[in-house]
Chain A
Amino acid sequence: MPGLAGRMSTVIKAKISKLLDRAEDPGETLDYGYQKQVESLQNVKKGIADVVTAKKRLQMQSQKYEQQVVKLDTQARQALSQDREDLARAALERKAVIQGELQSLDTQVKELENQQEQLTENEKKLRSKVEAFRTKKEVIKAQYSAAEAQVQISEAAHGVGEQMADVGLAIQRAEDKTEQMRARAGAVEELEAAGTFEDMTQLGEGQDDIDRELAQLGAGAQVDDELAKMKSEIGPGGGDTPALGEGGKEGA
């Protein structure tokens, strides 16, 4: 079968062949094969544990974003109450960017959770197959001649090998996904650091590249709306709110 299924089948089968390319004394191959399967099963368990760890790290990142959203909102309000609309706008632009990141991160964490469930299910399948191989290898050793055994071994080993290759692929995809998310989170952190979020008073008139970049990220209309809404909430002359500097330290 050509096409997607064809390519997938070919690639997986090539992997299995590479895994299984050892035709020596059938008895020895059997025990060796089983030993290798048990080792692979351990690696699979470790792979799943790594995915879980990565997922937890991303969940922590998501919490951090949530805190930043709150903090930037507070800063925007403080800036507005001191008639610093420019600062308020800068804070809201950042807030919009972080909110966007937060949303995409949460979606991906959910996807990762599904993948993790599936991985656990697949690991169970692999364990069953390895166990079946263990039983079968004893039967093969006891009942078959060398030539017959070779065929039987090959069949059984391919059955396990395919499952192994498949679980391996699933783990690799999950790892790739967490890696992408981590890289993206890192990029956002760099943006923040470069924009000195902690000290909003530094931002003033001379906008830096980061500000321009943030503004270009399509947050414009949303920021305008939010700014207008905030203005109407705060009303004119709300000068009793704490100074900006203190606000910055709260969430740090």
Chain B
Amino acid sequence: MIVRISGEGQFEVPDEDGERLNELDNRAVSAVESGDETGFHELWTQMLELVRSDGNALPDDELVESDVILPPRDISFEEARGEFTGAGLIPD
């Protein structure tokens, strides 16, 4: 699967990692919802690390759409929270 880390680029990640990413993402969401900032940042770092270590960066001139787009590395806790209250990173 193709995963984009917003602001960094696209990576080709083994399909098996999808489940793990999904799990981490769900836990990150729970952390945000329960106001656990430290937990959120830890999980978030793990997600990015997984993509970075297992994935291969796509060449710049590759024209392919990503299956998943992860918010930027420096997303703040407030921004992450905003993702769920509607005032997300990108206003609609």
Interface residues of A (CB under 8 A from B): 1-9, 11-15, 111, 114-115, 118, 122, 124-125, 128-129, 131-133, 136, 155-156, 158-160, 162, 166, 169-170, 172-173
Contact = CB atoms under 8 A, between A and B. Distances in A.
B8 interface: yes
Given A166-B4, A169-B90, A173-B89, A129 B60 contact: yes
Contacts of B67: 9
Contacts of A115: 74
Contact of A172 (B84, B90, B92): B90
B61 A129 contact: yes
Given A1-B68, A7-B88, A169-B90, 19 more contacts: A3-B22, A3-B28, A4-B25, A4-B70, A5-B25, A8-B6, A9-B67, A11-B88, A12-B69, A114-B74, A122-B7, A122-B9, A124-B60, A128-B59, A162-B69, A166-B6, A169-B7, A172-B90, A173-B72
Give the dominant DSSP class at A's interface: helix
A14 B32 CA distance: 24
Contacts, number: 107
A41 to B, nearest CB: 13
A131 B28 contact: no
Nearest to A111: B74
B62 interface: yes
Given A5-B21, A5-B69, A155-B64, A11 B92 contact: yes
B66 A9 contact: yes
B53 to A, nearest CB: 17
A168 B46 CA distance: 26
B37 interface: no
Contacts of A162: 4, 65-66, 69
B71 interface: yes
B7 A170 contact: yes
Contacts of B74: 111, 114-115
B85 to A, nearest CB: 11
A93 B25 CA distance: 45
Interface hub of B28, B32, B47, B72 (most chain A Cβ within 10 A):
B72
